Amino acid sequence: MSVIEPHDSDEGWAGRVAFASGPEPFAFVPGEVVVGGGRGRDIASELFGSRLDDIEPVFPSREEGAGQFFVMRTNEELDAITVVQDLRLEGVVAQPNHVLFAHGDCCCGVHPADRGQGCVGASPVYASPVYASPVYGSPVYASPVYASPVYASPVYASPVYASPVYASPVYASPVYASPVYASDMQASGKHHSSARPAAGPGAVVRTAPAGAYRPRVTVLDTGLARDGLRPQSLDGVLHQGASWQEGPDDDGDQYLDPAAGHGTFISFLIDTLCPGCDITADRVLTNYGEGNEVAIARRIDEADTDLLNLSFGGYAMEHMNVLAAAVRGAQVRGTVVVASAGNDGTCRATFPAALPGVIGVAAIGPSGPARFSNYGPWVRACAPGVDMVSGFFTVFDGAGPAPAGGTDPDNFAGWARWSGTSFSAPVVVAALARELQHGLTSAQAVSRVIDAPGLLRLADMGTVVNLA
């Protein structure tokens, strides 16, 4: 396996991200290796000694044997992937510190959007009356199954595309154009954001049910727009420290950073679909959309919440043991973890979406599965993720020129239109949060929204979830 090292540059993620090539590529932090337990730490110290610059526990609050891992920083003499392979030969649980992206190649069969005659909508499944109209106005939704008291919740009472946040049937580009596989971006991550200005959806203002429980929702992402640039309705959103504040142009090139506003967009979407939540928005991703497994796992381990929205993912050398340990700890505490499936159009499992018990969410559009969405048996749900409209930076006008007689593509005034599985996940989070407001436990909410018999499901895309 060869390693594609990033260029020496201060721009983007250069120096922070390396890419391992091969049949199953993945991204990782150069010079960082993670080992499991005190035995792994001791063997690594014996093997590499002074060539390890630093060793520290991943989860400071955990005991050495309680799912503890240690992250090691190697000096320039050692390649992280080689160190991992050497440690594995010694029987040590070892892995690179993977990099995950706010959202490559696969030989797992035809994408759900293309099944049938090889084009969207050609198969009998997607040519059926279920998909005959954008609002899914077929008899499937008029059946006694969906009219029963069991499905009388707002989650199931509306047409799939009746939600005002789902604005247009026109496909925009995915949030990120496969950062792991896009060679033009591997050096630095420099590319234009695919978010576009939008008018407000004109939605009816929702209010939380009187006396309802306030679900605790944590959004680990790029944080929230800083004071003066975020939608007013998010002024009361909780946060953890100063790291939560994001700006639209951290690198100063006068263009919207690739992932800038990602956390704001997601938090506003949840707040719009399920007002009355206590939302904690914290920063684990840069404005370029990348974050490393160890740092993300630490934040998950600290989270005290009912619902955890993780609109990012990545591919692993084999497995993300550190992320899995943090997610499992959160699940033991009663947290439901919801993660986006990814935008690479592949069935290759992404993490954390494919971890046990996590609700991995794919994206659908008005004609069925979104062509950019990842898919597979590890995906448990799908929700609208095409041309979603949500709150954004209240003021930002980038350097991009406005076309003659057209709309300025980077002049934002509080709203944006964006596509991707990143924005399907918060729809599912909001659906679960509504059930918590009505007195259900987290487990009961998952059972009702995701796992109940009779719900509409798509092969390799999971249960269809939508709100109005």
Residue given tokens 């993490």 in the structure block: 351
For the chain, the straight-line distance linking the first and the last C-alpha, in angstroms and rounded, comes to: 48
pLDDT score recorded for residue 111: 78
Q: Distance of CA 368 to CAs 165, 183, 331, 348, 383, Å?
A: 17, 29, 31, 20, 10
Find the farthest-apart pair of alpha carbons in the chain and give their distance in angstroms, rounded: 70
pLDDT score recorded for residue 1: 47
pLDDT score recorded for residue 87: 94
Q: Omega before 403 cis (within 30°)?
A: no
Taking a C-beta distance cutoff of 8 angstroms, is the pair 83, 55 a contact? no
pLDDT score recorded for residue 185: 60
Low-confidence ranges of the chain (pLDDT < 50): 1-9, 104-107, 117-162, 164, 167-177, 179-181
Taking a C-beta distance cutoff of 8 angstroms, is the pair 79, 3 a contact? yes
Whole-prediction pTM = 0.85
Distance CA 62, CA 360 (A): 27
pLDDT score recorded for residue 426: 98
Q: Distance of CA 71 to CAs 312, 355, 382, Å?
A: 22, 21, 35
pLDDT score recorded for residue 117: 40
Taking a C-beta distance cutoff of 8 angstroms, is the pair 375, 381 a contact? no
pLDDT score recorded for residue 105: 44
The string of pLDDT tens digits covering residues 225-262 is: 988 898 888 887 766 655 567 899 888 888 999 999 99
- Distant-in-sequence, close-in-space partners of 92: CB < 8 Å, separation ≥ 6: 35, 36, 39, 40, 43, 44
- Distant-in-sequence, close-in-space partners of 40: CB < 8 Å, separation ≥ 6: 70, 87, 92, 93, 94
